[in-house]
Every structure is written in structure tokens, then in C-alpha cells.
Amino acid sequence: MNDDAQLIDEALAGHSDAFGQLVLKYQDRLFNTVVHVVGHAEDARDIVQEALVQALIKLDTFKRQSAFYTWLYRIAFNVAITHRRRKRPAVSLDRAREIGAMEPLDDEDGPAEALDRKECCRQVREAIAQLGEEHRAVLVLREIDGCCYETIAGILDLPVGTVRSRLHRARLQLREELKEVLANEGIRD
């Protein structure tokens, strides 16, 4: 029996510490994915918290046909979609630094290189935020969270072919959004 299955069994038996361990195991990863999807750290925190509460309440409905984190991500994405429909938030470009952690800077980078890298990260985040909800979710899960196509299909409840198609379109849209950045960096299409 894997660790998640054992923790789920213990949580279902009434041991709240077991669910707490699942939360500790997945909350950061879930937050990092959701923040890229919704584009705002405060909203992501609320969504992750609500998703974890829903997961606890619905834990007895988990059929174990997929991995626990796939099920948990599915709940979080549903909460995020509901949240976006209710709120229709605008992405604040001034708060782009909240969308995710900056990549660590190379020790040999000087101030100019560090500033260039920071600006490039900001532009990529802005470009991702411009994608439609369905394309952004697939792109974030694949490129940022590193999920395989089958996992993404399970999380978003889509056929694998649709995941591949949306990812292809998302990459094309992102490339279009980033043309100016690529041109400034001397990279050709």
C-alpha cells in the first residue's frame, strides 16, 4: 500500500493528523500550480484552502482510480474556475512578482543580467496570464508543474488528445505573446 493510500485510510478512520500529512505533502505544489492558473497569490491561497477543505469533506468519495494529487488538483481547478467566474479578476501586472518565486540567480550574474532575467520572468508571467483559462491550465500543468499528459487529462477531466491539442495551441499563443521578448533576446522563431 502506498503512503497516500495509508494516510487516506487513516484519515477516513478519523485520524485528522493523517489528512494533515497529506496537506503538508501537497499544499505547496498545489499552490504553485494554482497561482500560475489564477495569476494572483491571494486568490490562489483562498482557492487552495477551499480545495483542501472540500477534499477533506469529500475524502470518502475518492475512488482511488487515480493518484490522490490528481484528484486534489481536479478539486482545486474546479474551485479556481468557480472563483474566476464569480470574481472575474484582472491580473495585476504590478503584482506579477507574487505569481511565483523568482528563479535563483546564478552567482556569476551581474546586476544587468539579474535585471534582464527578472524582466524576462515578468514578461513570461504576463504572457501566460494572457492565455485563455483552458490553455493556461494545460500549459501550467505541463510546463511548470511537469505533469504528464495522462495526469493532466485526469486533473482536467479531458481526453489525452484534447490535452495535447490545447497544449499545442497554448504554446503557439504563448510564442506569439512572447515574440517581442524573443526578438529582444536575439532568438528567432
> What are the sequence ranges of the domains in the chain?
3-87, 106-184
Domain 3-87 CATH class label: mainly alpha
The pLDDT value recorded for residue 103 is: 45
Is 3-87's fold the same as 106-184's?
A: no
* Fold entry, domain 106-184: Arc Repressor Mutant, subunit A (1.10.10)
Q: Which three cell numbers stand for residue 102?
A: 523568482
pTM metric for this prediction: 0.61
Percent of residues, the chain, with pLDDT higher than 70: 78
> Range with the lowest mean pLDDT among 104-113, 114-123, 173-182?
104-113
Reference 17, options 27, 7, 5, 25; nearest CA is: 7
The pLDDT value recorded for residue 134 is: 85
- Report the alpha-carbon distance of residue 24 to residue 130 in Å, rounded: 31
> Range with the lowest mean pLDDT among 49-53, 132-136, 149-153, 185-189?
185-189
Reference 12, options 69, 53, 67, 60; nearest CA is: 60
Q: Is the model's pLDDT at 22 over the cut of 60? A: yes
